[in-house]
């Protein structure tokens, strides 16, 4: 792996999140324009993230509100 590819590989998440130092953003964009392998690597990471986020978007199972309140009330009584 070339040094520039390696440098981008290490900073890929920060680049995706828009948290990369602006000077490095210029480097990343110039490199991506000329390196199809890194382009595919980035595309794979972005798609993976979309799939991961999408897979966890579901209703949480029934909560444990009642038990939770009982535990806290008991603790409160003991502390009085």
Partner 1 sequence: MELTSQMIKERDMALVDRFKGGDLAAFEELMGLYENQIYGFLVKMCGCAEGAKDVVQNTFLNAYRYLGKFRGDAAFKTWIYKVASTSCLKEKRKESSRGFHISLDDFLPKEKPGPNHKKPSWLRTPIEELLNTELSSHLKQSVVKLPKKYRLVLVLRDLEGFTAEEASEALDISVGAVKSRLHRARLFMRKELVGYYGDRSTT
**Pick 33 or 44: Cβ nearer partner 1:** 44
Cα separation, 74 vs 72, whole angstroms: 5
CB 45 within 8 A of CB 16: yes
2: which 2 tokens?
A: 């070339």
The count of other CB atoms within 10 Å of the CB of residue 38 is 22
Site for partner 1 in 2-21 (CB under 8 A): 6, 9-10, 12-14, 17, 19
Based on the shown chain and the rule CB under 8 A, indicate whether residue 58 belongs to the binding site for partner 1. yes
Residues in contact with partner 1 by the rule CB under 8 A: 1, 6, 9-10, 12-14, 17, 19, 37, 40-41, 43-45, 47-56, 58, 60-61, 63-65, 67-69, 71-73, 75-76
């Amino acid at each position: 792996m070339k040094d520039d590819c390696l440098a981008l590989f290490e900073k890929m998440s920060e680049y995706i999140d828009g948290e990369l130092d602006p000077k490095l953003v210029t480097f990343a964009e110039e490199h991506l324009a000329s390196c199809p392998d890194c382009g595919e690597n980035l595309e794979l990471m972005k798609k993976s993230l979309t799939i991961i986020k999408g897979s966890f978007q579901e209703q949480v199972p029934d909560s444990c509100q009642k038990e939770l309140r009982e535990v806290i009330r008991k603790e409160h009584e003991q502390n009085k």
